[in-house]
Amino acid sequence: MLTTSEAFIGCLVVFLVYRAAIVVYRLFLHPLASFPGPKLAACSTLYRAYYQVIRDGDHVMEATRLHERYGPVVRVAPNTLHFRDPKAFDDIFKFTSNFTKDPDFYDHLGQSEALFGMPDEEAHKERFKTVADLFSKRFAQLFETNIAANVDPPATYTHMSRKANGPINIARGLRAVALDIIQDFVFDFVPDDLRGMKDEEFDTLFVDTTWDVMDWTAWCFRNFPFALTLSEYLPLSWKRVILPGEAANVESFNVIMKLVEDNVKAGPKWRRDSMISRMAGKFTLSNLTSECMGTMFGGVINLANMLPFGAFCVCSDMELQERLYEELKSVWEDPNEPIPPYSTLFELPVLRGVVKESLRLMHGIIIGPPRVVPEGGAIVNGYKIPAKAVVTTSSLYVHTNPEVFPNPDEFRPERWAKSSDLLKMEKSLVPFSKGRRMCPGREISYMELMIVFAALFRRFKLRPYETTKEDFKWKVYVSLHFTGRFFHANLEPRPDWPAIMKNSST
């Protein structure tokens, strides 16, 4: 009969032998064993966890450093290859590619059963049918009215410049605008206390939580799923202290679930065509909540990076700001009139360049969502990759390719005016990804960026306040996340925009 300590030692030995066998297999026998990379990364996902959790979102930069050492393909985890050359982005995401989404990644976002993350292409196709119309060009044209309705009214700017004598937190203001727009896309109605622009300080739940969810806790759960299960036993008040990102996630989910329930009850007398009107009655409450939350957060997080970044780049270059102002004035003589249609704005080269540079330098889903190689294997960037391996790369490498974008780190809207390079640049602008699973919200996002920048720079002169380029340094969660101070600016109304002066004194 074994004593307790003997049994314990026996179990420990078996466990260690088992782990050692796994390490030997991964180093010498695994189908990816011949690919270059750090041995530690080949042995265990703890290497990735270290850069994601402990070094807090530094793994894309670490992968970039590894590429400098090991070349265009690096084994960054036991079953994952990371690519650097822009060609790999095309091979992995192109329309004809039959790579599938990696459930191991989408699980931690709570999206593996929603449109955003569903790995099964057939199930995805069926689900997408219910909302496909909402992402069509025709619907985008109708939705333009909703975007303008959120951006145009002078009341919007009353908030933005209520403190006309002092700076405002424009980063939060623009997040609030993006939030209100996407809420009109997702829901039939949203109570005032959840609308970002209803509060003077933009101090509403989702303005906070769409920012707060992006922290190391997401990476902790991605690498240690059991931590997510454990966290479910923690009361929300503890989570707020220990796991703020997860607290923001849970709080949002609960409020969105209630909102979904109330919206569904109010149907079928819908006020407008929306995600909820299309999906109600066809899916479970939990499914509907994941869909609504996925699209809402997806529709805010990227735009809330691009809008403040683009606005900062414009207003920290007075010559560019004046050029944009004059261009806008040429099609929008009286700013008290409604914003000109998107089709007019799209023809403005400076504005178009500002939008494209904001998209390019904020990269979209910079993480490079991982894909699983199908049966029979595949060729990526000239390398033969075995089936079931996970492959990944980032839009970062496509957007900063100096052969397509000379001086790639510089914000240069004028580069988009040169027609000779336009086709090459357009093909290399991939913030919305590519292929069958690319972002269907592209058209709406372009409209939103153009309309918001147009309204802002036609009606105001912006001066950055205690904000520098350093404040836009970032780390990576799903999208990038700024590490500096929030962008503040003084908004000085243009002389022909008196509406705001009257409103801001009320």
Q: Select from 263-271, 321-329, 426-434, 465-473 the region that touches ligand HEM (CB under 6 A).
A: 426-434
Q: How far is CA 378 from CA 99, 122, 294, in A?
A: 9, 21, 30
Q: Please say whether the beta carbons of 135 and 454 come within 8 A.
A: no
Q: Is 439 in the site for ligand HEM (CB under 6 A)?
A: yes
Residue least distant from ligand HEM (Cβ): 441
Give the angle 478-67-83 at the CA atoms, nearest 5°: 55
Q: Is 295 in the site for ligand HEM (CB under 6 A)?
A: yes
Question: How close are the terminal C-alpha atoms of the chain, in Å?
Answer: 86
- As given in the structure block, the two tokens for residue 189 are 């109605």
Amino acid at the residue 249? N
Comparing CA positions, the residue from 449, 453, 461 lying closest to residue 497 is 461
The length of the chain in residues reads 506
The correct pick among 32, 43, 66, 115 for binding ligand HEM (CB under 6 A) is 115
Q: Select from 148-156, 258-266, 307-315, 434-442 the region that touches ligand HEM (CB under 6 A).
A: 434-442
The correct pick among 172, 195, 412, 437 for binding ligand HEM (CB under 6 A) is 437
- How many C-beta neighbours within 10 Å does residue 6 have? 10
Q: Which residue is listed with tokens 């520098």?
A: 468
Least distance to ligand HEM from the beta carbon of 74, Å? Answer: 21
> Parallel, antiparallel, or unpaired: how do β-strands 80-83 and 73-77 relate?
antiparallel
Query: Which residues inside 123-162 make contact with ligand HEM, applying CB under 6 A?
Result: 128
CA quadruple 182, 188, 192, 194: dihedral sign: negative
Least distance to ligand HEM from the beta carbon of 30, Å? Answer: 26
Give the DSSP letter of residue 380: E
Least distance to ligand HEM from the beta carbon of 44, Å? Answer: 25
Least distance to ligand HEM from the beta carbon of 500, Å? Answer: 27
Q: Please say whether the beta carbons of 45 and 354 come within 8 A.
A: no
Q: How far apart (Å, rounded) are the C-alpha atoms in residues 23 and 31?
A: 13
Amino acid at the residue 345? L
Show the site string, 318-357: x = touches ligand HEM by CB under 6 A, - = not. Answer: ----------------------------------------
The correct pick among 298, 308, 335, 340 for binding ligand HEM (CB under 6 A) is 298
The correct pick among 196, 431, 464, 493 for binding ligand HEM (CB under 6 A) is 431
Comparing CA positions, the residue from 68, 97, 92 lying closest to residue 80 is 92
Q: Select from 20-28, 151-159, 205-213, 292-300 the region that touches ligand HEM (CB under 6 A).
A: 292-300
Q: Select from 7-15, 218-226, 297-305, 322-330 the region that touches ligand HEM (CB under 6 A).
A: 297-305
The correct pick among 444, 454, 455, 500 for binding ligand HEM (CB under 6 A) is 444
Query: Which residues inside 355-414 make contact with ligand HEM, applying CB under 6 A?
Result: 364-365, 369
In this complex, which beta carbon is closest to ligand HEM, that of residue 19 or of residue 427? Answer: 427
Give the angle 93-95-101 at the CA atoms, nearest 5°: 45
Query: Which residues inside 167-196 make contact with ligand HEM, applying CB under 6 A?
Result: 182, 185
Comparing CA positions, the residue from 293, 426, 438 lying closest to residue 365 is 438
The correct pick among 342, 432, 453, 474 for binding ligand HEM (CB under 6 A) is 432
Q: Select from 9-17, 28-36, 316-324, 429-437 the region that touches ligand HEM (CB under 6 A).
A: 429-437
Query: Which residues inside 219-248 make contact with ligand HEM, applying CB under 6 A?
Result: none
Q: Select from 44-52, 78-86, 227-235, 437-445 the region that touches ligand HEM (CB under 6 A).
A: 437-445
Q: How far apart (Å, rounded) are the C-alpha atoms in residues 297 and 447?
A: 18
Cis peptide bond prior to 408, omega within 30° of 0: no
According to DSSP H, which parts of 431-494 are helical?
442-459
The correct pick among 248, 303, 339, 396 for binding ligand HEM (CB under 6 A) is 303
Residues near ligand HEM (CB under 6 A): 115-116, 128, 182, 185, 295, 298-299, 302-303, 306, 364-365, 369, 431-433, 437-441, 444-445
